[in-house]
Amino acid sequence: MRERAKLYIDKRVDQSDGSILEIVIWKLPNPTAERPHGYKYRLNYSLPDGTTLVRYDNETGKGDHLHIRAKEYPYTFTTPEQVIIDFINDIKNNEGQL
């Protein structure tokens, strides 16, 4: 029987200003070449219309990276706890620009 990924966290908060904060992290059964740390994740802070304000993810073919508005930057994933901290800090640190 093939092992399945395990949901680590799945949280969505609809903010009073209409923005959406979502954190989804999966623990993979085994590390892969694209995800040597063994996690698949998407942390997203967006406007109600879907416009990305801050997003961290590791979609297939792109590896670990983050977005601040339309700009994309490399990201080094270490732990699920740290990516959440980094995500929240980027939201706070870019508040005036978002």
**Using one digit for the tens of pLDDT, what is the confidence trace for 4-14?**
999 999 999 99
Q: What is the pTM of this model?
A: 0.92
- CA-wise closest residue to 88 among 5, 13, 7: 13
The single residue listed with the structure tokens 């009073």 is: 16
The DSSP result for 11-79, as a single string, is EEEE-TTS-EEEEEEEE-SS--SS-TTSEEEEEEEE-TT--EEEEEE--TTT-SEEEETTEEEE-----
Model pLDDT for residues 35-48, shown as the tens digit of each residue: 999 999 999 999 99
**pLDDT at 98 (0 to 100):** 64
Ranges of the chain with pLDDT below 70: 98
**pLDDT at 94 (0 to 100):** 84
